Amino acid sequence: MAPPACPGAPDAPASETPDRAPVLRAGSTLRQQRALVTGANSGIGRAVALELARAGCDVVINYISDEPAAQSLVDQIAGLGRRAIAIKADVSQEDQVISMFARAAETLGPLHIVVSNAGLQRDAPFEQMSLADWNTVLSVNLTGQFLCLREDVRAFTRRGVNPAISAAAGKIICMSSVHQEIPWAGHANYAASKGGVAMLMRSLAQEMAPRRIRVNAIAPGAIRTPINTSAWETPEAYDDLMRLVPYKRIGEPADIGRAAVWLASDAADYVTGATLYVDGGMTLYPGFATGG
């Protein structure tokens, strides 16, 4: 039996590095684990935080705007019997990221899971794209991931593996997009940032595997969130969108939250450096179903 959770206390130091697949424990998949999710006050981040809490995690909710939404998520997670705190920080600012991770560890205890999710779009035809549009997207979507991932690996490395909690020293999930793969006219800054996330994730996975830190990505397709309202809010837009989705439904934020729970769990212990596409088949070149 695993020892009872001890709020705020560090995990026991690693005894040995197991060389077999972990035996999965019954009950909540992520029992006794602590997660931080960036950009968790809405959309995909919010659903990821909720699903992690349902799977047994205490959760740090990072946000940059809409504090009431972040606070209501904290309350909702408390209602599930898990601890949660909301921390305001701009992921593109080094000092804010460093102090967020320090505060998270002081308040809830060392983290086991980080979902680097914060991201935004500033769309424009290429010749009209301003340097500010370019820099904002790259700063949040790519530099923001770098800054958060660097704090994760520092903390996970300090702690090492505690097999009573998880077979890995830490689990990192980068929120990418189908546009790490699918070119996207009018969104060059966004697609470039997600292409960057793909190689950041894989390079870090290679570097961290010997330390038993697993680094993976989720690449969502069209998910019903505020970032892409115009793609689904009218029946015409929805029909248009469905031409790009072989599975013929829009994704829901919970589809991504559930994928995150699996990737973070020991059920995925041998998975590192992978991108899990959760896209209803959007990356399957749907135009070729009838052509080519």
Residues 103-122 as x/- pattern, contact with ligand BGC by CB under 6 A: ------------------x-
Q: Is residue 177 involved in binding ligand BGC (CB under 6 A)? A: yes
Residue 170 engages ligand BGC in binding (rule: CB under 6 A): no
Assess contact for 171 and 110: CB atoms under 8 A: no
Binding residue for ligand BGC, selected from 98, 231, 237, 254, defined by CB under 6 A: 231
Check binding of 221 to ligand BGC (CB under 6 A).
yes
Give CA separation, 208 vs 11, 47, 214, in Å: 20, 27, 7
* Binding of residue 47 to ligand BGC (CB under 6 A): no
Placement of tokens 């804010």 in the chain: 96
Query: How many other C-beta atoms can be found within 10 angstroms of the C-beta atom of residue 8?
Result: 13
Measured CA to CA in angstroms, residue 282 lies from 110, 181, 219, 251 at distances of: 37, 10, 11, 11
Say how far residue 83 (Cα) sits from the centre of its chain.
19
**Cβ-closest residue to ligand BGC?**
177
Q: Which of 190, 270, 277, 285 is catalytic?
A: 190
The phi-psi region of residue 66 (left if phi > 0; otherwise alpha if psi is between -120 and 50; otherwise beta) is: left
Number of shown-chain residues binding ligand BGC (CB under 6 A) = 9
Q: Check residue 45 for interaction with ligand BGC (CB under 6 A).
A: no
CB-based contact 90:139 (threshold 8 Å): no
Applying CB under 6 A, which part among 8-16, 67-75, 166-174, 227-235 lies near ligand BGC? Answer: 227-235
- By beta-carbon proximity to ligand BGC, the closer residue of 159 and 187 is 187
Contact (CB, 8 A) for 33 and 165: yes
Position 229: which residue type? T
DSSP H helix total and E strand total for the chain = 8, 7
The terminus-to-terminus CA distance of the chain in angstroms comes to 57
190 is catalytic: yes
Nearer to ligand BGC, 3 or 186 (CB): 186
CB 84 to ligand BGC: min, Å = 25
Region from 68-76, 125-133, 175-183, 267-275 binding ligand BGC, contact rule CB under 6 A: 175-183
Among 161, 167, 178, 261, binds ligand BGC (CB under 6 A): 178
180 binds ligand BGC (CB under 6 A): no
Q: Which residues bind ligand BGC (CB under 6 A)?
A: 121, 177-179, 221-222, 227-228, 231
Q: Catalytic site residues?
A: 190
